[in-house]
Structure 1
Amino acid sequence: MNDKILVIGRNGQLAKELAGLADSAIVGFLGREQVNLSDYNAMADVLSRFSPAAIINASAYTAVDLAEQESQQAYQLNHHSVENLARFAKTNKCHLVHVSTDYVFAGDKGSPYKVDDPHNPQGVYGASKAAGEKAILEHWAKSSCIVRTSWVYSRHGNNFVKTMLRLMKEKPELNVIDDQVGTPTSVTGLAACCLQAARDKVCGVHHYTDAGVASWYDFAVAIQDLALQSGLLNQAIPVNPIPTTAYPTPAKRPHYSVLDKSTLKGAFKGCS
């Protein structure tokens, strides 16, 4: 039985975490230098050499604010390239696991978003990810799994935890937004979830995050507390809550983007 899993992406948080799992079923990690996802024929030629039973797409355009200026690049990677992957997966009867985001929602619902709630993105990043989701479901809903997640952090790359730890060493105090609410997610659990989806051919749209609900301010306070306990920081600094209006950004963020994970228990074993 063919259990080969091919990962699209090499340098992102999820791809690096999957690489650290040293799972024998994962036969390759393809970054943008190895495969051009925008050219279907060239992409298909590269992917076919691996004869994968499943593909985990860990590649995405994730620069939320820059996407407002680089909409073409965001749509190319988050929509058109994803559509090419879905077409390849369908043609080759290959299971596709794709990671999406809470930013496909507006953030104004006031309660956790369910997997079948309608898209209503507030910026280019969220809109491009929503378009990628739709492309997968149009081409290969029969054997695909879309895993939406939020606020991912890890020891790899750039993320909120690493940024806070750096700034807490450099600054006398920090101002952090307290009216954007979601759920932080360790990439460790997300990687395990994606790997299981690939192995077990889990289908459908599902939400995976860690437990709990927090604002960015709450998250920053917890980061400092844990860093002090573990010796990553030597002294505490004041962390001040501020509203979104005090820290304007090019892209609008959802104010409440907690994801309902109720479908996980039935679709995944031990992944909740």
Structure 2
Amino acid sequence: MTRYLITGAAGQLGLDLQRALAGREVTALRRADLDVADRDAVLAAVAGHDVVINAAAYTKVDDAETHEDEAYAINATGPENLAIAAKQHGAKLVTVSTDYVFDGHGSAPYAEDAPRDPINAYGRTKAAGEELALAAHPDGTYVVRTAWLYGAGGANFAKTMVKLAGSHETVSVVEDQLGQPTWTADLAAQIVAMLDADAPAGVYHGTNAGETSWYGFAKAVFSEAGLNPDRVTPTDSSAFARPAPRPSYSVLGHEAWRAAGLEPMRAWDEALADAARHGVLEQHDNPESGR
């Protein structure tokens, strides 16, 4: 029987990974259980497992601008340690990365092999994590980049919109940033399908298909939550000055799935409708969440 280890198991993706692996032999470790930056602890934790899925991440994008060392320890040293441990113990490693490894200035979906060119500290640490993990265990490391995650467990944009609707008549949301809203349950299922198919190691893009703006996403969330989408008003990024620059275009291509004989993930709006039916847009407090 395949033995799985999930790191960052209390985040919204970690929780859905546990659901996707229900009935299998799984060790689920939260941040408090395992510091992925501690190599000795990682080597001990990975022993006895066949697959490691790394959902641990420093996800505070703005804070990373002034705490890059802290972000690097989790986002770069962590995946490297897990890759070294996975290779030593003969295990596969799936490490979850981000659209932020690209510059965000594109106009066509980024291919899996497009050059990394991050525009902020968070992106730099995640890009380093990819490179270090692939170098340490090239034959057994899967990098799965994702973006715009929302799920049942933890804070995220979709649930924030529903929460704001309760206290604001209108909500202003930027329409000059494009990406792919992605349901964590779909991503978890895709990762499990990839492993079950024994797909080749390498880089994959784990986002729901299609594209929209944050404004379009917010309107869709309002609609699915039974709220009037006209309460969402468009604005642009200049209205929200933040420490870390954001990519204006974060759409990822999905050719690697087809090359591996797997179907890419379904359309984002179809996934959102399904997520809403499963109660994902309802409010639940969970302090640990992750991109």
| Smaller-chain TM-score bracket | over 0.9
* Contact 1:168–1:237 under 8 Å retained in 2: no
Instruction: Give, in whole Å, the separation in 2 of the partners of 1:205 and 1:26.
Output: 26
Partner of 2:285: none
Is 1:224 paired with 2:243? Answer: no
Partner of 2:19: 20
Q: 1:262 to 1:270 in 2, by over 3 A?
A: closer
Match of residue 254, structure 1, among 237, 241, 247: 247
Partner of 1:244: 237
- State the 1:270 CA deviation: 4.2
Instruction: Give, in whole Å, the separation in 2 of the partners of 1:45 and 1:260.
Output: 36
Instruction: Give, in whole Å, the separation in 2 of the partners of 1:143 and 1:21.
Output: 21
Partner of 2:43: 44
Instruction: Give, in whole Å, the separation in 2 of the partners of 1:146 and 1:22.
Output: 19
Mapping of residues 104-123 of structure 1, within 5 Å: 104-123=101-120
Instruction: Give, in whole Å, the separation in 2 of the partners of 1:211 and 1:110.
Output: 16
Q: 1:201 to 1:95 in 2, by over 3 A?
A: farther
* Contact 2:20–2:192 under 8 Å retained in 1: no
Instruction: Give, in whole Å, the separation in 1 of the partners of 2:130 and 2:153.
Output: 25
Mapping of residues 145-156 of structure 1, within 5 Å: 145-156=142-153
1:176 partner SS: strand
Gaps of at least 5 residues in structure 1 are none
Q: 1:137 to 1:116 in 2, by over 3 A?
A: same
Q: 1:256 to 1:271 in 2, by over 3 A?
A: closer
Deviations 1:75-129 (A, max 9, x none): 0000011110011011111100111110000111211000000011111111100
Q: 1:149 to 1:22 in 2, by over 3 A?
A: closer
Instruction: Give, in whole Å, the separation in 2 of the partners of 1:113 and 1:122.
Output: 15
- State the 1:208 CA deviation: 1.7
- State the 1:268 CA deviation: 5.1
Q: 1:151 to 1:21 in 2, by over 3 A?
A: same
Mapping of residues 1-272 of structure 1, within 5 Å: 2-21=1-20, 23-48=22-47, 51-202=48-199, 203-228=201-226, 233=227, 238-267=231-260, 269-272=262-265
Q: 1:132 to 1:55 in 2, by over 3 A?
A: same
Gaps of at least 5 residues in structure 2 are 266-291
Percent identity for Structure 1 against Structure 2: 38
2:249 partner SS: coil
* Contact 1:96–1:198 under 8 Å retained in 2: no
| Aligned-residue RMSD, C-alpha | 1.5
* Contact 2:144–2:206 under 8 Å retained in 1: yes
In structure 2, give the amino acid aligned to 1:218.
G
* Contact 1:7–1:56 under 8 Å retained in 2: yes
User: Taking structure 2 as the reference length, what is the TM-score of the superposition?
Assistant: 0.86
- State the 1:211 CA deviation: 1.8
- State the 1:22 CA deviation: 5.0
User: Taking structure 1 as the reference length, what is the TM-score of the superposition?
Assistant: 0.92
In structure 2, give the amino acid aligned to 1:37.
V
Deviations 1:2-56 (A, max 9, x none): 41111112211111112223523342101122222222122212332xx111111
* Contact 2:34–2:41 under 8 Å retained in 1: yes
Number of equivalences: 264
Instruction: Give, in whole Å, the separation in 2 of the partners of 1:236 and 1:186.
Output: 20
Q: 1:163 to 1:26 in 2, by over 3 A?
A: farther
